[in-house]
A = this chain, B = another copy of it.
Amino acid sequence: MTNIKDIAKMAGVSVTTVSRVLNNHPYVSTEKKAAVRLAIEKCNYQRNINAVHLSRGQTFLIGVVIPFTNHPYFGLLVEGISNEAVKNNYKLVLFQTNYKEDREVEALKMLQHKQIDALIICSRICNWDIIEEYVAYGPIILCEDTLGKNISSTYIDHYKSFSKALEYLHNKGHHKIGYCVGRKTGTNSKQRESAYKDFLYKWKEELKQNYIFYECFNFEDGEEIMQRLIKMNDPPSALLVASDQVAAGILTCCKEHNIHVPNELALMGFDNQPIAKVMNITTLEIPLTAVGRKLFLQAINSSIISHEEIAVKLIERQTV
């Protein structure tokens, strides 16, 4: 393979000049520039990117940590990140963790080793102290509230939005409200839990543990929720579902079991995914592609630590 030296020799200039042409630096005479260009074309010369990376200490690669690729929430988020990455000439390295801590650490290590310029963690599993060990090595951006921490983030205030949704359901006359979330221990779930508890406290309702459903991620998880609902003596009259997919799954099962929505069971989704629109599910809109865009921009403008709160919007449809 031809390298920069060969080109320099062919064009009768120094490697410095070739480098300048390659990088569009000023101060190269038109003739030499032309000679270099010619040589490059003749040899079909291609820069060795790894050498560039080594030299510059930058790779134009941004790491993205997600638990699953096969989920519309993360699909949209990555789509948002990806679109902005294209615009800025960055590429994405995907880390699918399946919520395994060591996979997240691997991503952090890649940051440490300078193989990626920044790391966006869309759903964190590691403890804070581990993350904080790595902030020295490069920008880490999170998709959860990091206020007070020296880490940029774009996030949704899940306490606020959950409260909003609960009040909405309450106003619609619901007193027996349950909810479905993904991981029991995630930051978001904890925020939601405290919103839920505060809500119950405010309205003097008692907490029923079986009104809370964990590990709800996908459409098909709706089925199990339905099974559990059917068996209850005193089922909730409304469910706040932290994902439109799951809400859609529940709704589909309701139709099969002839449970009328919203009369017998009100459903409220999250995200405002396309499926929510088609199935007329009342939901809280999260502009996920916009979130992705912001996350990316924070990753490349890491000198400024910022915390961007994203507002959610209640979309009234026909399941409440």
Contact = CB atoms under 8 A, between A and B. Distances in A.
A274 B219 contact: yes
Contacts of A277: 220
A275 interface: yes
B54 A50 contact: yes
A222 interface: yes
B255 A255 contact: yes
Nearest to A226: B278
Given A49-B113, A279-B252, A82 B54 contact: no
Interface in A51-91: 51, 53-54, 57, 59, 61, 64, 68-72, 75-76, 78-79, 82-83, 86, 91
A253 interface: yes
A78 B82 contact: no
A20 to B, nearest CB: 20
Contact of A222 (B93, B219, B278): B278
Interface size class of A (residues with CB under 8 A): 35 or more
A223 interface: yes
Contacts of A72: 70, 72
A120 to B, nearest CB: 12
Interface of A: 46-51, 53-54, 57, 59, 61, 64, 68-72, 75-76, 78-79, 82-83, 86, 91-96, 98, 103, 110, 112-115, 218-220, 222-223, 249, 252-253, 255, 274-275, 277-279
